[in-house]
Structure 1
Amino acid sequence: MTTPPKPVLDTAARALLDEIAANPGAVLRLGVLAPGGHGKTTLLREVERALAQNGADVTAVDDAHLLGDDELRALRALVERGDTSVVVAYRPWPRSRALAALAESLGRVRPAHLPAPLTREQVRHALPPSTGRALVDFVHQQTGGVPRFVARLSGLTSPELTPDVIASFRADLDWLDPDAQKFLLAAEAGAALRLDLLRSLLGGDADRVADVIDAARATGLLAPDGTLLPVARTAVAALSRTDRRIAVRRALAESQLRAGGPVLDLVRPLLTAPGPELSELFKAAAAEALPSDPALAARLLAAIGTPTPEVAVRHATASAMAGDLDSALRLADRVVAAGDQTHRGAAAEVAAIALAHRGQLARSTELHRWSPSATSTAFAHIGQIGVGALPAAPLPPAPPTLLGGAASLMAHGVLESVTGSPTTALSTLVRASGLLEPAGAGVLLPDSPAALAALVALHSGEPVVAESALDRAVASGLGGSLMAVRHRLLRAWIAMGRGNLERARETITALRRANRPLEPRDWIFAVALEIGIARRNSDLPTLKRTWEQACEAVLRHPVDLYTFLPLGEFAAAAARLRDQHRLAPHLAAAEDLLRGLGNPALWAVPLHWSGLHAAVIAEEIPAAEEHAAALAAHRDSGRYCAIVSSAAESWLDVLAGKVDPDQVERAARGLHAAGQWWDAARLAGQAAIRTSDRQAMVRLLDCARLLQGRPLGGRKPVEPETGQETGKLSDREREVAELVVGGLTYKQVGDRLFISAKTVEHHVARIRQRLGCTSRAELLDQLRQIVG
């Protein structure tokens, strides 16, 4: 016959059994007090067995709290007689006068034994020996170590509650009176410790509420802190009647709303049973959810049903903040079209912000003017400047709010960028971003001050400032999910300018994996990044493949001041593909826009710099000279203007075959200091290729590699891993080998290393000879082993 396993008992219980074994003739009078499921019955059996083994008579009574008064008085008399062992187990509730008297008599002999929950180690011993650590932790966390519940979970094979486990709690819940069931539902809703809400729910005074809580504690379903054990919370939610659960949550939420407290956690589950009677609760919960979870706020407002204009505006705002601009525009348009004078301005502002993200800046500006708010007026100024017109009237005083103050600073900063000092403009926009950071994701913006600051910084050759503003915006969640993509794309743009193409590509890859369509303003930057990466990698197939997207992007997004960076990148790509005519109308629109603003240097210089690159790529010397002249006209407008003008002059000299290594190196280092590492390296590399002075060529090639972030040398030759005596590759040959294995053509390799395609061909021929390869396939196979 198999010996049953010993029960898992706590230290105090083991000590009690040892005491009985050490004093077999002693009379034991003991009360065992604990909520349900804590092992009272198990201990009672063990004590009864231990006393019986010693030949002692024992009266063992379980669940004494269920006995009548006469039975309890009889037990008390037996205890007070003192000539026989009496062990009584009972719950702390219900507690009649007779049970209290019995407990008092037992307590005069020795304190009641209070079984403790199992520790994690004891839970491990209570489970099958093969149970893994993760499952032990799960069972202990779910049950709080209550032995009855540990036993119910002992058959689990993975850390997940099964329907059978949850169903095993039905008996624990069904026998409870209605008030105790209400309390458990309130505890499941998170209100177990809210006496004010419980009094309202249970309809009684503090003493009555305390009695109900004591009754619930006696079930063993509550943790020591008064909240439901995790497994019990799951069971209460799953096994309680849906209508009763909804009624309890609604009552709690209404009490909380009357008290002015948060209701979101109470209301969220009510989304499964919406109705007009819950509209006030849904509105209050949506206001709570909006800053951190606008999508949830939109769902709550949608559950109201037929909305009032006020609710429709709130719903449009939440939808826009969640990135659902279609819904935002549809809801806002209905309010505007309905002619509701009270809410039409707010609806127009939401629609204006949505259209700004859609690239419709002119229409956005018009809608902002429908709103009487000073914030909307500030945004209208930003939009008006963006489409090439200076505001005729000054801004009204900013309201004393974070958003109002930040919007006013944004408008002043953008205006300063076209009429005043770029340094002042940048400082103003950075201050606007800092002012709005505490608001985080809780504001709806047509553009963020951090994004505008980054654009001004990039147009000023201040990538460090741009990166800092964007990093802070990302850390604070400024503008929420609607602005998050824009901030990431601008950070990737900085990386691309510095030649960190891999980091820029990672951003594009991550956005593609998100599988979420980009709004036109974000899409034009994303496509421009792909174009820029392909062009810098001399990746002509990708450039050709992406060019059609670029042409579509500029069609979907009319030219405005804030998209000059992608437009300039598209100009260089168009020249590379000999397709300039498709972009010409958009470049002409950009020039018209600049003229409307008085041709401000901060915005004009980068566009002319991109035009110079396009002319160089297309070998159109007259066009290059025109752009260089335009840059020279702005030379005295600031440090960056002087750097770019100097670089333009160097390019013209290089194209003419006049290479002054000192001048080229100064110009290239200036570009590098302005964050344009790839442009700097390209200028030095092309100058090296075009000079006939061997010493100057070596110097400029070293300069190009240094500015590109590549080592000047020092890498040891690498032994082929074929085991054959096939010679070694020089540093330059290894560089060529890596790029050839990567699939680049000789022309692309030459562009990357600032050497001619013919030189690359000579390197490959030498490598083939040195490795003894008789075919290209054999060569590539050996090179893959060498360079990994």
Structure 2
Amino acid sequence: MLVLDDLQWFEEGAVAAVLDALDSSSSKEISVWASRRPWPMSNLLQATTDLLTENEPAVRTGLLGNEEFAQIVSSFLVGAVSTKALDELHQLTAGSLSLAADAVAADWQRDLGGLPAQLVEAVTNRVVRCGPEAEALVRLLAVGPPLEVAEIVDALDDTFDRDGAERATRAGGVLAEDGLLVPLVRAAVLADLPRATRGRVHDQLAVALIQSHPIHAADSVMAGRGEAPGSERVLIDVARRLQRSDPARAIDMADHGLACGFDRSELTLIRARAAYEQGSRDAFGYLDDVPAGAQLHSTEIAFGLDIRDLRWRAAEGCPMTGATAGPLRQLASMLAGNVVELTDEGSGDGADVRLISSLASNLVLVAAGDFRSGLAGIAEIADDFDRIECDVPMGITPHAVGAVVALSFGDLAAAETLLDQALSAKSGGEGEETTHRLLHAYSRLVGGSFEEALKAVREGEEAAWSLRDRFLLAAIDAAIARRSGDTTRLREAWKRADPVLVRTSASWLFADLALELLAAGSRLGETRRVQPIADEVAAQLHGLPSSGSGEVSALWMRLQLALAGDDSLATTNACQQLSRCVGVDDRSAARVLAAAAWAAIQTQSIDDGVLSAAAQRLESVGDRWEASRLLGQAALDHPDPATARRLLEEARALAVEPEAAGESGLLALGLSEREAEVALLVAAGRTYKEVGAQLYVSPKTVEHHVAHIRRKIGATSRAEFLSKIRAATDRDT
């Protein structure tokens, strides 16, 4: 048998010798298998082809499929070969028998990593035989992205023999069926290219791809030496395009451009904006690097960062220019509690301008008491924000604004709908995602589900977030602590919140979230820290239009802080002032009614009808925990034991607390569910008074429970009690 592979590469003397051998009489006893690729035909090659196909037609095989490839390759391999090894070789060579023969001859094995020098040389020699222009084309294909040869060829200029190079490359057996380089060829060419040569090839590819594939061109600028004509412009344009969709990549491009000495003004701005889109604190440092002549263009980024850090006044005074400057300042003014008549300052016809102006206008409606119309308008703006992909760094999305508005009025369903939309659409990019997740967790917590909130606190301990997100996280932690009666957690939440509160400005829109933190501080006796912030928030709420619910919200905050601090006089005063208010919406009406119930509890003149109505109204507007607390306190103070028991059951039915790990282990010791609850809380370090406040029983009742528990588990001392309880809960956990 005589096997002649790649006849097109044979020198003329060798082709002539083959032709003579085939034409001789002795050749009739020899089986001949020959192959060649499409190629400009010489007379000798044509004559050889005609003789070989005289009795049998030529068969076009091309690259072989997996099964045929495995069958033929197995025949010239020594020893048994695994199916996996044959599959890997087929993948590497794209079914080329000649390349497979080169790999086998060089003893290639994937497990060894890299390519043997002998194989690299054999493959690169094949490429060289294709001709200089085909070799240049193969190099471009090797260093570039996985593009078909036609895409690269179409991008080359007319000085390059594009058709000839493509024909030679296809004929040379270095392309797979899909027009991409055979993986083995790509790997061998890259292994053979010196670093400096590779850089020049990347520059050439960048020039070729600038028009058709600008992002790939920018990648080639990054990998090259940055010396090709137009490299600077394409890198800057692509980095700007990616600063929102892929900010990390945009920052890498900007850093590379700065290292190459490209335009500093544009690249530092791109880097700052990309860091803003990431939500990275690096944005502040990058803004400092912007040259003085370009700083006017950086003011919008500074505005967005100020809004994210709850610095409303700084944002309001940001020296912006352009069509969006006026609407952005009006938005900041509204968030800062300065409800003024909106003007047309800086207005224009752009979609971004109309969107920001409309957001500020709908916040005016909310502040004036038209909650439903304002929230509906903000929801429409959120849809438009996603549709037009608003390019202005607002520092907050309409979805987040709408969610906070909805939470303020007890519409948890609307809040979660907006936040689900924001998370699904990735509204505002990476930099806004954390805010959306934290608000979603808080909404679920208010509704009685702790899982998402607990996860947020666990995962957010070390995150370098904006001050707003740190504020939200602290508020969530404080809300968990308040609802579970965990004083230790309350102290940790206040510790986290204190430095945030020092650095941020109050806002009427975030009053309920601020209340979670201020109530924690009040409960811990931090009156000197709490009072100034509470006064600032209350002043904003009182400053809202009288047609709105600002006054009720301010007095409700005063009542909650008084209750948290066990200040009976302040509680009475707040209740009296609230009782003179009129609720303009469902939540403010519920709070006015609840104030009357708290006043009755203070004077021990409890009206069961008012109490039940207040609890039902609070629950209906999302204040489930407040309703539970109201009923629980009434149960403790009610003179009639039967009514007290009923109120206590109603309070417990409304109370939703974090699931207690370890409870089943205590039940296994023979404790009742109530005893297990008490044991867990005491083991966690709560005082009898704190346990009683959480479970709506007196400290004396807690003491009796503990005595029963000690007898059941055989604990003769407090230390032994704690040891046995913790051992049981550890096993369960």
Verify same fold: TM over 0.5: yes
User: For the residues of structure 2 that align with 1:669 and 1:120, how far apart are their CA atoms?
Assistant: 77
User: For 1:601-750, what aligned pairs fall within 5 Å after superposition?
Assistant: 601-632=548-579, 634-709=581-656, 728-740=670-682, 744-750=686-692
Matches within 5 A, 1:119-518: 144=94, 147=100, 155-157=109-111, 162-164=113-115, 168-173=119-124, 176-177=127-128, 178-188=132-142, 189-190=144-145, 192-193=147-148, 195=150, 197-201=152-156, 203-216=159-172, 218-219=173-174, 222-230=175-183, 232-257=185-210, 259=211, 261-273=212-224, 275=226, 278-302=231-255, 303-304=257-258, 305=261, 307=263, 309-327=265-283, 331=287, 334=290, 337-338=292-293, 345-367=296-318, 370-373=320-323, 375-395=324-344, 399=348, 401-439=350-388, 444-512=393-461, 515-518=462-465
Deviations 1:339-383 (A, max 9, x none): xxxx66533222222222233221212225x3121x232111011
Cα separation, 1, equivalents of 2:80 and 2:53: 39
Residue by residue over 1:720-768, the C-alpha shift from the partner in whole angstroms, topping out at 9 and shown as x without a partner, is: 65xxxx7x43332343345455555544433332223322232232233
Instruction: Please tell me whether the aligned partners of residues 601 and 637 of structure 1 are also in contact (alpha carbons under 8 angstroms).
Output: yes
Using a 3 Å threshold, how does the CA distance of structure 1 residues 398 and 372 change in structure 2: closer, same or farther? closer
Query: Structure 1 residue 782: deviation in Å?
Result: 6.8
SS across alignment from 2:244: coil
**Sequence identity of aligned pairs in percent?**
23
* Contact 2:327–2:346 (8 Å) recurs in 1: no
Indicate if the aligned counterparts of 1:199 and 1:209 stay in contact, CA closer than 8 A: no
C-alpha distance 164-212 of structure 1, shift in aligned 2 (>3 A)? closer
Instruction: Give the distance between the partners of 1:606 and 1:170, measured in 2 at CA.
Output: 80
**CA shift in 2, pair 1:601/1:200, >3 Å:** closer
What letter matches 1:254 in structure 2? V
Q: Conserved in 1, the CA contact under 8 Å of 2:134 and 2:166? A: no
Q: 1:420 to 1:692 in 2, by over 3 A?
A: closer
Cα 1:301/1:785, change in 2 over 3 Å: closer
C-alpha change, 1:266 and 1:275, in structure 2 (3 Å) is: closer
Which string of whole-angstrom CA distances, capped at 9 and with x for unpartnered residues, describes residues 571-608 of structure 1? 21122111111121122222333344446734554443
CA gap of 1:244–1:285, structure 2 versus 1, over 3 A, is farther
Mean Cα deviation higher: 690-699 or 456-465 = 690-699
> CA shift at 1:467, angstroms?
0.9
Distance 2:699 2:133 in 1: 86
Q: What's the offset of the Cα at 1:474?
A: 1.1
Q: Which moved more, 1:576-585 or 1:771-780?
A: 771-780
After TM superposition, the structure 1 = structure 2 runs for residues 531-570 of structure 1, keeping only pairs within 5 Å, are 531-570=478-517
C-alpha distance in structure 2 between counterparts of 1:752 and 1:255, whole Å: 71
**CA distance in 2: counterparts of 1:213 and 1:469, whole angstroms:** 55
Name 2:521's counterpart in structure 1.
Answer: 574
SS in 1 for 2:318: helix
Residues 264 and 288, structure 1, Cα contact 8 Å, conserved in 2: no
The alignment status of 1:118 with 2:66, answered yes or no, reads yes
Cα distance in 2 for partners of 1:128, 1:630 equals 95
Higher deviation after alignment, 593-602 or 575-584? 593-602
SS in 2 for 1:551: helix
Distance change >3 Å, CA 759–CA 75, structure 1 → 2 = same
> What code does the residue aligned with 1:687 have?
A
The RMSD of aligned alpha carbons is 3.8
Q: Does 1:99 align with 2:45?
A: yes
Cα displacement (A) at 1:450: 0.7
3-state SS of the aligned residue for 1:601? Answer: coil
1:530 CA displacement: 1.9
Whether the 8 Å contact between 2:558 and 2:574 is mirrored in structure 1 is yes
CA deviations on 1:431-466 (whole Å, 9 max, x unpaired) are: 111111135596532211011101111111111101
- 1:164 is displaced (CA, Å) by 4.8
User: Given residue 304 of structure 2, which amino acid in structure 1 is its aligned partner?
Assistant: I
C-alpha deviation, 1:334, in angstroms: 4.6
Distance across 2 between alignment mates of 1:399 and 1:130:
72
**Alignment correspondent of 1:19:** none
Please say if residues 408 and 509 of structure 2, whose CA atoms lie closer than 8 Å, have aligned partners that are also in contact. Answer: no
Distance 1:286 1:182 in 2: 28
Per-residue deviation at 1:476? 0.9
State the match for 1:752 in structure 2.
694
Q: Distance in 1 between matches of 2:384 and 2:393?
A: 15
Deviations 1:291-316 (Å, cap 9, x if unpaired)?
A: 31123223323414353645544443
- Number of aligned residues: 704
Distance 2:205 2:160 in 1: 15
Cα distance 1:448–1:145, how it changes in 2: closer, same or farther (>3 A)? same
The separation in 2 between residues aligned to 1:656 and 1:121, in whole angstroms, is: 93
CA contact (8 A) 1:632 1:645 kept: yes
Q: Is the 8 A contact 2:572 2:602 kept in 1?
A: no
Cα deviation, residue 225, structure 1 = 0.6
> How many Å separate the matches in 2 of 1:484 and 1:128?
58
AA in 2 matched with 1:622? L
1:556, distance to aligned residue in structure 2 (A): 0.7
Distance (whole Å) between structure 2 residues aligned to residue 776 and residue 128 of structure 1:
73
> Does the C-alpha gap of structure 1 residues 107 and 647 become closer, same or farther in structure 2, counting only changes over 3 Å?
farther
Deviation of 1:385 (Å): 1.9
Quote the Cα distance in structure 1 between the aligned partners of 2:19 and 2:479.
Answer: 91
Quote the residue 1:766 is aligned against: 708
2: CA distance, partners of 1:148 / 1:410: 69
2:31 maps to which residue? Answer: 86
Report the alpha carbon displacement of residue 407 of structure 1 after superposing the two structures with TM.
1.4
The 3 A distance-change label for structure 1 pair 63 and 206 is: closer
**Partners of 1:634 and 1:641 within 8 A in 2:** no
- TM-score where L is the length of structure 1: 0.79
Distance in 2, Cα, partners of 1:752 & 1:447 = 36
